[in-house]
Amino acid sequence: MDKKYQPIIGMETHVELKTKSGMFCGCKNDPDAKKPNIHTCPVCLGLPGALPVANKKAIEWTIKLGLALGCKINKLSKFDRKHYFYPDLPKGYQISQYDMPFCYQGKVETSFGPVRITRVHLEEDTGKLIHQNINGHNVSLIDFNRSGVPLVEVVTEPDIFSSVQAKEYAKKLRQIIRYLDISDCDMEKGGMRLEANISLLNVKSQMTNNKSNSKFKLPNYKVELKNINSFRFLERGIEYEIERQREILESGKTPIQETRGYNAEKNITFTQRTKEEAADYRYFPDPDLPPINISEKWLNEIKSTLPEPFDGLFKRWQEKYNLKPELVELLFETAEESKKLEELFKKCIKEKLSVEKFVNAMVHKKIKTIEEFKKMTNIDEVSDDDLKVIIEKILKVNPKAVADYKAGKINTINFLVGMVMREAKKKIEFQRLQDLIKSFL
């Protein structure tokens, strides 16, 4: 692989919060609504005269996420209006945050290095467009159920340097958000939307090679890759883009600064019309929404609802139960679930079962309870007395093995254990059987 060009990637991720109601109105927040336009009101429909009132929980969850990403929290924050015209944007502006977001300057660790989080802010979602052809005409149909749903945006610095790292970052971000249980991050339903800004840096013409220190000069263009709804597409889309840009740069030209989409079928990126040419969003503070003070008291209240951070949790489980993070992390998503899981671990210990094996079984055999685990390993299925009957039988019909064992061939015990198990037609704890048989010999 050509080392001349270094991909420089920043990511923007939009996440729908799973609040019960809208960001600025009391309409139900229901991503599974069965019919269109059943959860709209004057506010989220942008009717004349409607006014927004901010959802406190949405703000608290945004701050919670910021804290979990190691961000600083602004003491004073506000909402701003972001103007552009599009059929799914009822007011002709989106209530968002411009220069005073709730959270800023955080960090997510990846195996390739840290990815700095520039900001985490809160805004409202738009309606949904459905494209159809009706009677020979191409039309777009608009469903405003989603309009006004709280949307969190997480923006990174251009600290991502490969498609693999981008995927790892996106997955980790999702894991953190799911852990906090503030969103279902259902990518197919649009609950989590990925965007990547991609450019290539000509490293040969740069003075420094320190990757995670942004002292290098950023490329003079960037291409925005939008509307990616799977990690696999993210990786592939970025790979395609890197190659496409490399070819252009090699030919002596500069890639056009534009927005592109990803076509999964053809595995290519393609030009999309942008919403506003050189988007002038004319941000100004929304006069309908008073500013927000994040007091010490409120911030501490929010902090107290934070679950144990992943690093601490995994470290603890590794030390206590000898669990590998990569394995156990497959068993839970939310903090609630992690707590329930820990309850099971404690139960295992109580019943003298191996937590490690239990976790293995949960991962590989998809079992969920201790009862299932026990059943699987069949530990209590046979009583000692019943076993003794079988052992006596086996020992009687295998005199040579018995003699061998008594003569010092210790490994013969395995053979005998196997025979007993076969006879019993059940799986029995190896150690237990061994001990029992030995007691006969």
Partner 1 sequence: MSKKTLSTEEILHIAKLGNLTLTEKEVELFKKQLSSVIEYIDKLQEVDTKNVEPLSQTTGLTDIFRKDEPDEKRTLIPEEALKNTKSKENNLFKVKAVLTE
Partner 2 sequence: MDLLGLTIKDIEESLKKGVFSCQELVKESFSTIKKHDKKINAFLTLNEEQALKQANHYDNLIKKDKNIFDEKPLLGIPVALKDLFTTKDIRTTAGSKIIGDYNPPFDATVVKKLIDAGAIIIGKTNEDAWGHGSSGENTDYEVTRNPYDLNRVPGGSSSGSGAAVAYGGVLVGTGTDTGSSVRLPAGFCNLVGLKPTYGRVSRYGIIAMASSFDSIGHMTRTVYDNAKVLEVTAGVDPFDSTTVPIKVDQYTKKLGQSIKGMKIGLPKEYFVKGLDDKVSNSIKNSLKILEKLGATVKEVSLPHTDYAMAAYYILVPSEVSSNLSRYDGIRYGGSREMFGAEAKRRIMLGSYTLSSGYYDAYYLKAAKVRTLIKRDFENAFKEVDVLIVPTSPTLPFKIGEKVDDPLQMYLSDIFLCPVNLAGIPGLNVQSGFVDGFPVGMQIIGPQFSEELLYKVAYLFEQETQYYKIRPKFKNG
- Contact residues toward partner 2 (CB under 8 A) are 42, 45-54, 81, 83, 85, 87, 90-93, 142, 280, 282-284, 286-290
Among 8, 15, 43, 242, binds partner 1 (CB under 8 A): 43
3 state DSSP class of 32: coil
Stretch that binds partner 1, among 4-12, 171-179, 243-251, 272-280 (CB under 8 A): 272-280
CB atoms under 10 Å from CB of 37, counted, come to 13
Question: CA-CA distance, 285 to 426, in Å (whole number)?
Answer: 71
Site for partner 1 in 171-230 (CB under 8 A): 226-227
Give the x-and-dash track for 287-326 against partner 1 (CB under 8 A). Answer: x-xxxxx---------------------------------
Q: How far apart are CA 93 and CA 79, in angstroms?
A: 12
Residue 291's binding partner among partner 2, partner 1, none (Cβ under 5 to 8 angstroms by kind) is partner 1
Tell me the closest approach of the beta carbon of residue 94 to partner 2, in angstroms: 11
Q: For partner 1, which is the closer residue by CB, 7 or 127?
A: 127
Q: Which does 399 bind (CB under 5 to 8 A by kind): partner 1, partner 2, none?
A: none
Q: Write down the least CB distance from residue 302 to partner 1, Å.
A: 14
Q: Which does 59 bind (CB under 5 to 8 A by kind): partner 1, partner 2, none?
A: partner 1
Give the residue with the Cβ less far from partner 2, 41 or 389. 41
- 24 or 358, CB closer to partner 2? 24
Residue 27: how many other CB atoms lie within 10 Å = 21
The one segment of 1-9, 29-37, 96-104, 426-434 that binds partner 1 by CB under 8 A: 29-37
Cβ-contact 334, 179 below 8 angstroms: yes
Q: Are strands 113-124 and 150-156 parallel, antiparallel or unpaired?
A: antiparallel
Cα within 13 Å of Cα(67), Cβ side: 18
* Least distance from partner 1 to the Cβ atom of residue 251, Å: 28
Q: Give the three-class secondary structure for 271.
A: strand
For residue 189, give the nearest of 29, 9, 21, 68 by alpha carbon: 29
Name which position in 11, 15, 25, 71 contacts partner 1 (CB under 8 A): 25
Q: Considering CB distances under 5 to 8 angstroms, the limit depending on partner class, which of partner 2, partner 1, none binds residue 222?
A: none
Other Cβ atoms closer than 10 A to 296: 8
Segment holding 316, helix H or strand E: helix 310-321
10 CB-near residues (< 8 Å, 6+ apart): 155, 156, 157, 158, 159, 160, 196, 197, 222
Backbone angles phi, psi at 105, to 5 degrees: 55, 70
φ, ψ for residue 243, nearest 5 deg:
-65, -45
Is 52 or 219 the residue whose CB approaches partner 1 more closely? 52
Stretch that binds partner 1, among 54-62, 318-326, 385-393, 406-414 (CB under 8 A): 54-62
Residue 241: CB atoms within 10 Å: 24
425 binds partner 1 (CB under 8 A): no
CB of 65 to partner 2, least distance (A): 24
Question: Read out DSSP for 359-400?
Answer: HHHHHHS---SHHHHHHHHTTTSS-HHHHHHHHHHHHHH-HH
What is d(CA 242, CA 213) in angstroms, rounded to the nearest whole number? 21
341 is a site residue for partner 1 (CB under 8 A): no
Residue 3 sits in the site that holds partner 1 (CB under 8 A): no
The one of partner 2, partner 1, none whose footprint includes residue 16, by CB under 5 to 8 A per kind, is: none
39 binds, among partner 1, partner 2, none (CB under 5 to 8 A by kind): partner 1
Q: Could you say which of partner 2, partner 1, none residue 93 binds, taking C-beta under 5 to 8 angstroms by partner kind?
A: partner 2
Exactly one of 32, 188, 280, 385 binds partner 1 (CB under 8 A); that residue is 280
**b or e along 181-215 (b: 16 or more beta carbons within 10 Å of the residue's beta carbon)?**
bbbbbebeeebbbbbbbbbbbeeeeeeeeeeeeee
Q: Which helix (H) or strand (E) holds 269?
A: strand 268-271
Among 2, 85, 265, 396, binds partner 1 (CB under 8 A): 85
Which partner, partner 2, partner 1, none, binds residue 91 by CB below 5 to 8 Å per kind?
Answer: partner 2
* Residue ranges binding partner 1 (CB under 8 A): 19-21, 25-29, 35-43, 45, 53-59, 83, 85-87, 92, 129-131, 134, 137-144, 226-227, 261, 272-273, 280, 282, 284-285, 287, 289-293
